[in-house]
A and B are shown apart, each in its own frame.
Chain A
Amino acid sequence: MLNFRLLLVLLSVLVAALFGASLLIGPAGLGVGTSLRALLAGQGEAAVLVMREIRLPRALLGVMLGASLGLSGAAMQGYLRNPLAEPGLIGVSSSAALGAVIALQTGLAAMVALALPLMALAGAVLSVLLLLMLAGARGASLTLILAGIAVSAFAGALTSLALNLSPNPYAAAEIVFWMLGSLSDRSFTHVWLALPFMALGWVLLAPLGRGLDALTLGEDAAAALGIRLTRLRLSLVLGTASCVGAGVAVAGAVGFVGLVVPHLLRPAVGGRPGRLLPASALGGAAMLLAADIATRLIAPERDLKLGVVTALVGAPLFLHLIYKTRKEGMW
């Protein structure tokens, strides 16, 4: 187990380095000097546009989305005491995706500028209300999982219906491509749209560490240690929904980050769910920035989708982790 502070410093350095790399890599092919002068001093008209309007919001969204997914994944695993839990489990991401798909399918997204992210957020909010209604404010974690699966399945079915009823193959292709998840061509409008929701999510999830630590002993023992489980659960659901809902709204469905990153970093924090929260937020930001850079490096002309890369990297990584933990006989 590494020293915890050292781990956070190392992860922060990694995020900063990848953030820098994300600013410097792109199809415009600007030199390092040109890029930095444009970004910081505002020199060179075209370069300023590329740096400040295209690359900076993209890199910022990468950090925000990655941190949100990593943090909510760690919180969800900690609450459910299950390393297979991920933020999408409570059905928010599929519901947000449904909202976006409806915006695309009805043509609303083409008519109104922010219709797509706003519809996605509306989908996320509706699913949370439905989830809380189904699972109740009190109750065990199992009811939350079941309610989440039900919401998820229903949203998935409606998304399929929208695809099924799409007026022409192009509309269907647009929907499918959107669902693969991407950060390309996002602007500061997207940053400002997502930031308040994600920040709310961070504020709700960050203080849960102590309760999640106590939950290592089970719900009964945690309650007797003075943890208010009802409140913890509400914070968890609302925080995850804000993070994930806003994430899907601006970037589409990006999977595996919330699942793999907490799993990867757990040994480094000695298994403690509370310490995993900040570590996983930083780790998530790093993984998402790296994956987004990869989409630009591997196939710059083909518009490789971010969600495809995270899944391509995440799934084998996850398989490797399962294999390793099976050999060691522990998580």
Chain B
Amino acid sequence: MVSLLALEKLTVRRGECPVVDRISLSVAAGEFVGLIGPNGAGKTTLMRAALGLLPALGHSSLAALPVATRAHAAAWLPQTREVAWPVSVETLVALGRTPHLPATGQMRAADHAAVEAALKRMALEGLRFRSAAQLSGGEQARVLIARALAQQAPLLLADEPIAGLDPAHQITTMEVFAGLAAEGHAAIVSLHDLGLAARHCTRLILLGQGRLVADGPPGDVLTGANLAEVFGVRAFYARTEDGPVFQPLEVVR
């Protein structure tokens, strides 16, 4: 298995307090990793530090790369959905090709193909000429995911990409990420919907107060003890004929 990301004792401090505390892990091709944890657990900080967007102690294989090379190794979808100008959906998705373009900025056949593939994958062909600034929040989220897909990097890091989507688009988006992993890419996606995480991810990483609490297949991570300790909830979790079903039930503290 090709390792696409390796972290060794990655630590981010805000003042004296560690927000991400000595996290070591590696992600290989074919994995769809769900990054879970309560608010403030350090999910966003971990991903940004892994990408080298934040100064951090320890080692990250991505942060060690030169900026231009890193853009070929990993795509990043931030949580804030920013579309500053009223550019068309197609133009916005094409921004994902930025690292691949020559100095002239001219799009080539491979770039057009990547943009088409990304639009198709997110079912956005019908919106391509619309102004991205005029879309609904959910549509904008899907366009920005398509932008990250068009980058065609082996590793995709996405910060709460499915927040605010309707159930059908949440499921199809999770399937897109799973599809990427099945094709030999990898995705690290932070999520709050543990039910979708349990069903679609091949691996979950549970963060609590900046530390790595559990790392493994969904069934091993979403244990009663872990949920009570980190999230403070009790949940129903079962493997059914329709796949794993997870439902938080009540707060236990």
**Once the chains bind, are B95 and A216 in contact (CB under 8 Å)?**
yes
Candidates A209, A215, A225, A227; contact of B84 at CB < 8 Å = A215
**Assembled-state Cα–Cα distance A63/B147 (Å):** 38
**Once the chains bind, are A220 and B78 in contact (CB under 8 Å)?**
yes
CB within 8 Å for A227 and B87 given contacts A210-B105, A218-B80, A330-B134: no
Known interface pairs A218-B82, A224-B76, A227-B67; 20 further A-B residue pairs with C-beta atoms within 8 A, sorted by A's residue number: A210-B98, A213-B95, A215-B84, A216-B84, A216-B92, A217-B78, A217-B82, A217-B95, A218-B80, A221-B77, A224-B71, A225-B71, A225-B96, A226-B67, A266-B85, A266-B86, A272-B91, A274-B105, A330-B133, A331-B86
A-B contact pairs, 12 of them (CB 8 A): A210-B101, A214-B95, A216-B83, A217-B83, A217-B84, A217-B92, A221-B76, A226-B70, A226-B71, A270-B91, A271-B88, A272-B91
User: Which 3 pairs of residues, A with B, have the shortest CB-CB distance?
Assistant: A226-B71, A224-B76, A218-B82
Complex contacts, A223 vs chain B, CB 8 Å: 53, 67
Is A329 an interface residue, CB under 8 A from the partner? Answer: yes
- Residue of B whose beta carbon sits closest to that of A220: B78
CB within 8 Å for A227 and B98 given contacts A216-B83, A274-B105: yes
Give per-residue flags for A221-241: 1 if the beta carbon is below 8 A from chain B beta carbons, else 0: 101111110000000000000
Candidates B82, B88, B131, B134; contact of A221 at CB < 8 Å = B82
Within 8 A of B (CB), among A241-298: 266, 270-274
Complex contacts, A215 vs chain B, CB 8 Å: 84
Is A81 an interface residue, CB under 8 A from the partner? Answer: yes
- Residue of A whose beta carbon sits closest to that of B131: A330
**Assembled-state Cα–Cα distance A331/B86 (Å):** 7
Is B68 an interface residue, CB under 8 A from the partner? Answer: yes
- Residue of B whose beta carbon sits closest to that of A231: B67
Complex contacts, B46 vs chain A, CB 8 Å: none
**Once the chains bind, are B101 and A272 in contact (CB under 8 Å)?**
no
- Residue of A whose beta carbon sits closest to that of B148: A221
For A213, A214, A217, A330, the residue with the greatest tally of chain B CB atoms inside 10 Å of its CB is A217
CB within 8 Å for A224 and B51 given contacts A215-B84, A216-B92: yes
User: Footprint of B on A, CB under 8 Å?
Assistant: 81, 209-210, 213-218, 220-221, 223-228, 266, 270-274, 329-331
Complex contacts, A220 vs chain B, CB 8 Å: 48, 53, 76, 78, 80
**Once the chains bind, are A271 and B86 in contact (CB under 8 Å)?**
yes
Minimum C-beta distance from B155 to chain A (A): 11
Within 8 A of A (CB), among B126-141: 131, 133-134
**Assembled-state Cα–Cα distance A218/B98 (Å):** 14
Candidates B86, B131, B144; contact of A217 at CB < 8 Å = B144
**Assembled-state Cα–Cα distance A213/B91 (Å):** 10
**Once the chains bind, are A272 and B85 in contact (CB under 8 Å)?**
yes
Within 8 A of A (CB), among B90-149: 91-92, 95-96, 98-99, 101, 105, 131, 133-134, 144, 147
- Residue of B whose beta carbon sits closest to that of A210: B105
Is B151 an interface residue, CB under 8 A from the partner? Answer: yes
Complex contacts, B134 vs chain A, CB 8 Å: 329-330
Q: How many A-B residue pairs have CB under 8 A?
A: 90
**Once the chains bind, are B87 and A270 in contact (CB under 8 Å)?**
yes
User: Footprint of A on B, CB under 8 Å?
Assistant: 48, 51, 53, 67-68, 70-72, 74-78, 80, 82-88, 91-92, 95-96, 98-99, 101, 105, 131, 133-134, 144, 147, 151
Complex contacts, A274 vs chain B, CB 8 Å: 105
**Assembled-state Cα–Cα distance A284/B85 (Å):** 20
CB within 8 Å for A226 and B133 given contacts A81-B85, A220-B53, A221-B78: no
**Assembled-state Cα–Cα distance A210/B84 (Å):** 15
**Once the chains bind, are B133 and A331 in contact (CB under 8 Å)?**
yes
Complex contacts, B88 vs chain A, CB 8 Å: 270-271
Minimum C-beta distance from B68 to chain A (A): 5
**Assembled-state Cα–Cα distance A221/B151 (Å):** 12
Complex contacts, A217 vs chain B, CB 8 Å: 78, 82-84, 92, 95, 144, 147
**Assembled-state Cα–Cα distance A109/B175 (Å):** 71
**Assembled-state Cα–Cα distance A216/B81 (Å):** 10
CB within 8 Å for A214 and B86 given contacts A226-B68, A271-B131, A331-B133: no
**Once the chains bind, are A225 and B99 in contact (CB under 8 Å)?**
yes
**Assembled-state Cα–Cα distance A266/B151 (Å):** 26
- Residue of A whose beta carbon sits closest to that of B144: A217
**Once the chains bind, are A226 and B99 in contact (CB under 8 Å)?**
yes
Complex contacts, B133 vs chain A, CB 8 Å: 271, 330-331
